[in-house]
Structure 1
Amino acid sequence: MAPRRRNTQQRALIEAELADCRGFVSAQELHARLRQGGNPVGLATVYRNLNDLAESGAADTIQMSGAEQLYRSCSDEHHHHLVCVDCGTTIEIGPEHEEWVESIARRKRFTLISHTIEIFGRCPDCRRKLREQELAAAN
């Protein structure tokens, strides 16, 4: 287990900014948001604290295709995500399919240790914008 880091003012700023994000963000995006807000936190500090938050379970991480690791503040309960591939909006969804996951593991003779489910798609706002763009291009 990794050593527990001290709660510093910079860590508190990083946690608060991450909690204000609508969806998953990269360390660089979070760093830019902090700097725009007048908080001169170093990029290495942002990366280190995000990794610590992920290790402790206070942040979720995903790896989008061809992108760097992304982070999101999360709840303490086991959950999964719906993630918009366009804007990054993320919705936590409950573990409704735990029995399904366990049955697959049993059928394949696996001992289930853990699992992560991310469902990628488009949110209603992005679908609407895409339709509007398609209509404008057709005219």
Structure 2
Amino acid sequence: MSRAGYAPCGEEEKGYLMQRMTKQLQAVFAELSRVNDFRSAQQIFEDIQSQGQRVGLATVYRNLQSLADEGTVDVLRSAEGESLFRHCKSTEHHHHLVCRNCGAAAEIAQHEIESWVSEVAAAHGYTDVSHSMELFGLCSKCTRSAE
């Protein structure tokens, strides 16, 4: 297991997942693969609908949960508490830098963060510590448009 209890999303796992996908799951996966930012279930639902595909909102939620359970998507909570999803592009433990405005995201892996987590855990007598960290800010595009 890598981040937050999810298994890494390597090509082997994706191949297995693709073999057992329903049309609805394929639509959700294709939409997540098409975009690079974190999206809410509602946004994914609306995008799929706008492409002329029929899928229910409850089905989108169910399929997103299935993809999250498989470790195929990254999940984070917005400042408002809404779950946001993005196709997992990395098989390594990583964190995200997410734009508060447009949802654009960058995957980041910083060894300094991992060292800090280990130091904090050791200082408090903890072992076998896992963590998840998301950083939120404004991307350069949104910063320019706000000026």
Task: Say if 2:131 is the partner of 1:115.
Answer: yes
CA contact (8 A) 2:37 2:105 kept: yes
State percent identity of aligned pairs. 43
Task: Say if 2:96 is the partner of 1:81.
Answer: yes
The Cα shift of 1:68 comes to 1.8
CA contact (8 A) 1:24 1:72 kept: yes
TM-score using structure 2 length = 0.80
For 2:127 and 2:30, the matched residues in 1 are separated by: 37
Deviates more, 1:60-69 or 1:32-41: 60-69
For 1:108 and 1:20, the matched residues in 2 are separated by: 43
Larger radius of gyration: 1
Match of 2:7 in 1: none
Structure 1: give runs of 5+ residues left out of the alignment: 132-139
For 1:95 and 1:19, the matched residues in 2 are separated by: 25
For 1:98 and 1:66, the matched residues in 2 are separated by: 27
The Cα shift of 1:67 comes to 4.1
The Cα shift of 1:113 comes to 3.2
The Cα shift of 1:114 comes to 1.4
| Other structure's SS at 1:82 match | strand
Large movers: runs of 4+ above 4 Å: none
Match of 2:10 in 1: none
For 1:9 and 1:95, the matched residues in 2 are separated by: 38
Task: Say if 2:39 is the partner of 1:47.
Answer: no
Structure 2: give runs of 5+ residues left out of the alignment: 1-16
The Cα shift of 1:22 comes to 2.5
Task: Say if 2:114 is the partner of 1:101.
Answer: no
- How many residues are matched? 128
The Cα shift of 1:116 comes to 0.6
Q: Which string of whole-angstrom CA distances, capped at 9 and with x for unpartnered residues, describes residues 85-108 of structure 1?
A: 111100001142212211111112
Q: C-alpha root-mean-square deviation of aligned residues, in Å? A: 1.7
One of 1, 13, 36 as aligned partner of 2:27: 13
